[in-house]
Structure 1
């Protein structure tokens, strides 16, 4: 609407200035149309540079997210450093276990916060602020130009306590380490057996009734040792970016 008004003011100014003879009416019209042109240009400039007629509106969206790790038994939140200073990062996850992974918006105006939750599922709460017109009048006046322009976003990622947080590079290193653990040498097998035996003794000491069920005891001991090995592998890769 403002552009149509500007066009009419320009045409009116031209016609009154060129086509009319000198008179009080001509002078008055030149002043009116001149003010219209200057006023229109000023409003357009203010809208472009200072978001005149607009307000910041924040919307909140909460959704359940899933690990992007190919191994669902070892869930993790992946992150990818953005920039050369490593001050910012995008976080990689899935909105559906069967769909491709997505990531948080790569923008300096985006702030990501990570917290641990006692829940078994992870969630992402996004508070997104955009410029919107105050009302329909301003929207129509400026033809809704710039409506929905992104201002900032705050992402709160709440992940279960058993999730790991690794960079994509660390995740690749972890995968390589775990592959090695899946094919232990004879010496490593012997060391593993010793650890399992020691863990079984700890479990029996804590729960004496397990001594009567050796199958359950050994399964629990093996699982505990396996978790320890994974945790150690994770700690090793986390020491290097």
Structure 2
């Protein structure tokens, strides 16, 4: 509507000032259409710069996220630097099974905290038109214009936060660990045997089934320790 009003003012001013002969009506109409044109320009500028007809609205949205990693045993929150300063990052995760990420915008800030559940809480403040009249008058321009957004990403302690480059390096390390050397195999076997000996000392009447459980638990513990060691290594690189 504001554009139509501006066009009306321009055309009316042109017709009245240029096309009409000198007289009272020329002066009156030129003044009216001049006010309409200047007033329209002022309102467009006021809406764009001072957000005339708008108000700040803050909304909060929380979504449950899952790991961006394909491995259930190694849940991850990935991030990637935006620009060259390294001060801003986008975070990568999944929502309802679909990979997504935070937006790369200087008005958006992210922070990562630990908690019980993996979620992203977004607190968004934006300019919104006060009513339908203003919304229609300004043709919905600048509606929901972002002022700021704060994303609080909560991840459990079992998760690991890595950059995309660190995740690639970790994948290489874990792949290499699937083919241990003879020395590494001997070390693992010794650790498992030690776990069985300690378990038998606590329970001399241990059955074969119980011994298998001890071995399984020992292997899982060693595997987890190896993963944590690999994560520590890639973070130190």
Helix, strand or coil: the match of 1:127? strand
Partner of 2:168: 172
1:36-62 deviation line (CA, Å, top 9, x unaligned): 221111111122223221222222221
Aligned-residue offset at 1:95? 0.9
Q: In structure 2, what is the equivalent of residue 235 of structure 1?
A: 232
**Counterpart-to-counterpart distance in 2, 1:154 and 1:76:** 21
Mapping of residues 163-202 of structure 1, within 5 Å: 163-200=159-196
Q: Which residue of 2 aligns with 1:94?
A: 94
- The number of residues matched between the two structures is 233
Distance, in Å, in 1 between the alignment partners of 2:37 and 2:200 is 89
The 1-side partners of 2:204 and 2:152 are apart by 42
Q: What secondary structure, in the 3-state scheme, does the structure 2 residue paired with 1:60 have? A: strand
Asked if structure 2 preserves the Cα contact closer than 8 Å seen for 1:95 and 1:102, the reply is: yes
Quickly say closer, same or farther: Cα 1:52–1:204, change in 2 above 3 A.
farther
Alignment partners' CA distance in 2, 1:80 and 1:210: 53
Please list every run of 5 or more consecutive structure 1 residues that lacks an aligned counterpart in the other structure: none
Stretch moving more, 210-219 or 182-191: 210-219
Using a 3 Å threshold, how does the CA distance of structure 1 residues 53 and 200 change in structure 2: closer, same or farther? farther
| SS of the residue 1:166 aligns to | strand
Counterpart in the other structure of 1:44: 44
CA spacing shift, 1:204–1:109, aligned 2, 3 Å: farther
For 1:148-163, list aligned pairs within 5 A.
148-163=144-159
Aligned mate of 1:142, from 138, 145, 153: 138
Q: Secondary structure at the match of 1:161?
A: coil
SS at match of 1:94: strand
| Cα distance in structure 2, aligned partners of 1:134 and 1:63 | 28
CA 1:210/1:115 → structure 2, altered by over 3 Å: closer, same or farther? farther
Deviations 1:141-195 (A, max 9, x none): 1111121223322111111110011111111111111112111111110111223
1:223 equivalent among 213, 220, 225: 220
- Partner of 1:69, secondary structure, is coil
Do the aligned residues in 1 keep the contact of 2:82 with 2:89 (CA within 8 Å)? yes
Structure 2 runs not aligned, ≥5 long: none
Determine the C-alpha separation between the residues in 2 that align with 1:202 and 1:228.
19
- The aligned residue for residue 27 of structure 2 is 27
Q: Decide whether the 8 Å contact of 1:174 with 1:237 is kept in 2.
A: yes
Q: Does 1:69 align with 2:69?
A: yes
Q: Name the SS for the 2:109 alignment partner.
A: strand
Q: Does the 8 Å CA contact 1:9/1:37 hold for their aligned counterparts?
A: yes
Match of 2:95, SS? coil
2:102 alignment partner in structure 1: 104
CA contact (8 A) 2:173 2:230 kept: yes
Moved more, 163-172 or 28-37: 28-37
Q: What SS does structure 2 have at the residue aligned with 1:146? A: coil
Q: Under a length normalisation based on structure 2, what TM-score does the superposition of the two structures give?
A: 0.88
Instruction: Give the equivalent residue in structure 2 for 1:55.
Output: 55
